[in-house]
Structure 1
Amino acid sequence: MANHAIALAVVWHVVAAGATIHAVMHSVASECWRRPVPAGSGLLLLASASSAAAALTHVAIIAGGPSWYRFFGAGEGMARLAASGSWYPATITLGIALVLAVWAAYAASAAGYLPVLPFLKTVMVAVSAVYLCRGVGGFFLAALAPGGNSPTFWVWSSCICLLIGLAHAVGLSRRWPVLSARGRHR
């Protein structure tokens, strides 16, 4: 029961942090550019902030070393490799961080806060699909616990991916007419 209370507390803090980041991004963007916040961009800003936070978390895991790999559920194998000085865990984790950072930039572009990026709508549909598939698929993987990851890791990471995927998908659907009208369909 204690694990459920801890997990619930973690989810609460993630949601609260996401809402705070969302509010701050709206405020900063409105002040910096002295223009109204684009209609329907809120969920995409939240999606962008979530992907950016995930990217930064992956960089922090590299810096934190083996204990961070264990804490974040990467598995004992990755933690042992990191402890032995292998380049493999850092390379894989940095690769994931870079992908997440690119996804954050695409969501910010779709929200109207960055210049139009190439293939914006196509990439955003793909990113939404990846997050949603990972979110749903992870629940099935929890039963198998592949790769040395615990079922707890699969369940919580799946919940997070599902929420981020929903923010991308719903945010994109709200901005779709604007993106099409502005020629952002490349």
Structure 2
Amino acid sequence: MESSVALGQKLLLIGGTLSLIASFLHIGVIVGGPDWYRFFGAGEDMARMAEKGLVYPAIITLGIALLLAVWAYFAFAGAGLGWKPPLMRTGLIVISGIYLLRGLALFPLLVFVPDKVNGFAVWSSMIVLVYGLFYAVGTWKAWSSLS
């Protein structure tokens, strides 16, 4: 029988891997250019700015990629890989909360502004909701090993 901590560490490892994949995907969007900004739902304004050669879309997208990489590191550290960052428990709780809130934000949109809900809003919300569940349950199960 697998221990609760071991299960939590596995879930955090999966969550960290998902965050790292998302980070690399954001870097791919920068390299892929305007068509990739459009395909991945960044919006027409970001795609047009990228077409004009403006640096703003790349800076914003790189910032997101770096944030996701830091979140991946927190999950990997929680899984027992590498140096534990300060406030790891707090960080994992905050990361879990952000992912979960972003995923659950779809439901108020569906109720109050359904005309703003598109395919990107639905699939991206479901994806980050899954990420949040890996982080939240992983953090909960591995809690005793995170201090």
TM-score > 0.5 by shorter chain = yes
**2:50 aligned with 1:77:** no
**2:100 aligned with 1:101:** no
Could you tell me which of 97, 103, 127 is aligned with 1:135? 103
| TM norm structure 2 | 0.90
Q: Which has the higher contact order (CA 8 A, sep 6+)?
A: 2
User: Identity of paired residues, percent?
Assistant: 47
**2:122 aligned with 1:122:** no
Instruction: Give the alignment of 1:15-164 within 5 angstroms.
Output: 39-40=6-7, 41-141=9-109, 143-145=114-116, 151-164=118-131
**2:132 aligned with 1:165:** yes
Could you tell me which of 125, 140, 143 is aligned with 1:176? 143
Displacement of 1:123 in angstroms is 0.4
Distance 1:127 1:68, change over 3 A: same
Q: Deviations over 1:27-78 (max 9, x none)?
A: xxxxxxxxxxx71211100000000000000000000000000000111111
The separation in 2 between residues aligned to 1:140 and 1:76, in whole angstroms, is 24
Match of 1:44, SS state, is: helix
Q: Deviations over 1:67-120 (max 9, x none)?
A: 000000111111000000111100100000000000000000011011111110
| TM norm structure 1 | 0.72
Paired AA for residue 164 in structure 1: Y
Q: How many residues align?
A: 139
Determine if contact 1:55/1:101 at 8 Å carries over to the other structure: yes
Structure with greater Cα Rg: 1
Q: Which structure 1 residue ranges, 4+ long, deviate > 4 Å from structure 2?
A: none
Match of 2:75, SS state, is: helix
Determine if contact 1:131/1:162 at 8 Å carries over to the other structure: yes
Paired AA for residue 95 in structure 1: G
